[in-house]
Copies of this chain bind each other. A is one copy, B any other.
């Protein structure tokens, strides 16, 4: 008999029908009530066995984690907490699970413990909910761009170029490290490496994205990116997924509009399609926050916070305005910030971003027009202001509890200005000729941004450690599974 998914069964009104359900036992109470989960829903179906007619040896094998197949009639449930249950007529143990050895018990486990058994944590309610929401957000991103005619581009993961001009990249090689080939002068001969040169894992698909945008008009990437940064924080991963749209004929305002529209669209999609999961995660967060002192708890519950994001325009201010607000702020005046804001030009720290978003505006903030000195070479240069200050058409979107979730800019489309800036920043112009060709041949104003996917999932699920929103996190000293 074809199996029925539990998700469908929980919504059925066809009582009396005969069904087969296959899944894993979550709990078995009173030698009678099996809670079965098949992964299709965060919720279990209750299957009621008649222990008077079931062999004792079979009943003993119905343990947490074991796989079973039950066939029986769908009936209305008289029990609390469920509408539907199955009156079991046939029961088969598909796969045993030794309760003594199984690490997951029918009780609450800490997130730290579950991280150690990441290969089994998918079987818990929390991670069922988290990865269902992650799945919905990924789909919503593709749907959003598809509806707008954007072309999905797979930019290369292995690259010979270095988009951000910084170090912190992983080397990719097939050279035998025990027997490295050398050139005559004794240096390593990368000509003998797989790609005939030194290669790394990409930190961004943006530059390649620009090439495509200046042909297709509007494109986006959605792929893995890498940072070999030795940061052991709750917000950093060595391997993470990023969405990078790049659009010809977009100026900074169009870029901000698109980013805000995208974020609202995907949050709404999650609210519409993951109500059970978000309801569960809201409760989880509330439990977690009970451990905190009152003044550190969130003012809004998870779902209220998500709705609040949808209902309000993101605040758009310039870096210069932000510095003014921060300079005059209480924590700055009272020297409570670790890094005090004194002069224009300072790079904003997480504490400043959080103050702006969580205390001052109490909503998402888009900061624009940063000092050129603290931003990347490819950003469009504003004209020098009256005080002689140079800014670029950057925009960062800051989210409560997350900080920077989007970083983007209008791109410098002038070949002359771009080349000058590259030279100032010691970026090898020759090697980047392919990139400069976009400014050489039919250059147009264009813009783009990067959205860190795991940070988005963090925000929507209310989880607090980025290791808990990606299946198998890669962090310093950790590449298990």
Q: Which residue of B lies closest to A187 (CB)?
A: B178
Q: Which residue of B lies closest to A413 (CB)?
A: B95
Q: CB-CB contacts of A216-235 with B at 8 A, as 1s and 0s?
A: 11100001101010100000
- Oligomeric state, in copies: 2
- A113 on interface, CB distance cutoff 8 Å: no
**Which listed residue, B5, B38, B40, B157, touches A157 by the CB 8 Å rule?**
B157
**Which listed residue, B119, B152, B442, B479, touches A434 by the CB 8 Å rule?**
B119
Whether B239 and A442, one on each chain, are in contact in the complex, defined by CB atoms closer than 8 angstroms, is: no
Whether A208 and B476, one on each chain, are in contact in the complex, defined by CB atoms closer than 8 angstroms, is: no
A175-200 interface with B by 8 A CB criterion: 175, 177-178, 180, 187-188, 194-197, 199
Whether B39 and A248, one on each chain, are in contact in the complex, defined by CB atoms closer than 8 angstroms, is: yes
Whether B178 and A152, one on each chain, are in contact in the complex, defined by CB atoms closer than 8 angstroms, is: no
Given contacts A119-B434, A122-B212, A216-B39, contact A479 B239 (CB under 8 A): no
Chain A interfacial residues counted at CB < 8 A: 103
Q: Which residue of B lies closest to A137 (CB)?
A: B152
Whether B217 and A40, one on each chain, are in contact in the complex, defined by CB atoms closer than 8 angstroms, is: yes
Given contacts A156-B239, A195-B478, A216-B128, contact A120 B441 (CB under 8 A): yes
Whether B215 and A123, one on each chain, are in contact in the complex, defined by CB atoms closer than 8 angstroms, is: yes
CA distance A172 to B170 in the complex (A): 6
Q: Which residue of B lies closest to A6 (CB)?
A: B217
CA distance A142 to B172 in the complex (A): 29
CB neighbours (8 Å) of A188 from chain B are 177-178
How far is the CB of A297 from the nearest CB of chain B, in Å? 31
- A65 on interface, CB distance cutoff 8 Å: yes
Whether A160 and B441, one on each chain, are in contact in the complex, defined by CB atoms closer than 8 angstroms, is: no
Given contacts A194-B170, A442-B95, contact A132 B158 (CB under 8 A): no
Whether A472 and B157, one on each chain, are in contact in the complex, defined by CB atoms closer than 8 angstroms, is: no
Q: CB-CB contacts of A31-44 with B at 8 A, as 1s and 0s?
A: 00000001110000
Given contacts A67-B443, A208-B481, contact A472 B156 (CB under 8 A): yes
- A146 on interface, CB distance cutoff 8 Å: yes
CB neighbours (8 Å) of A223 from chain B are 223-224
CA distance A441 to B214 in the complex (A): 52
Known: A95-B441, A170-B172, A173-B177. 17 other contacts (CB 8 A): A22-B249, A39-B151, A39-B217, A39-B218, A96-B442, A122-B216, A131-B153, A134-B152, A139-B152, A154-B224, A155-B472, A157-B201, A158-B474, A159-B479, A171-B171, A171-B175, A211-B481
Residues of A within 8 A of B (CB): 3, 5, 7, 22-25, 38-40, 65-67, 94-98, 101-102, 119-120, 122-123, 127-128, 131-132, 134-135, 138-139, 142, 146, 149, 151-161, 170-175, 177-178, 180, 187-188, 194-197, 199, 201, 208, 211-212, 214-218, 223-224, 226, 228, 230, 238-239, 241, 248-249, 413, 434-435, 437-445, 470-472, 474, 476-481
List 7 tightest A-B contacts by C-beta distance, closest first. Answer: A122-B215, A95-B443, A39-B216, A39-B217, A195-B479, A196-B477, A67-B442
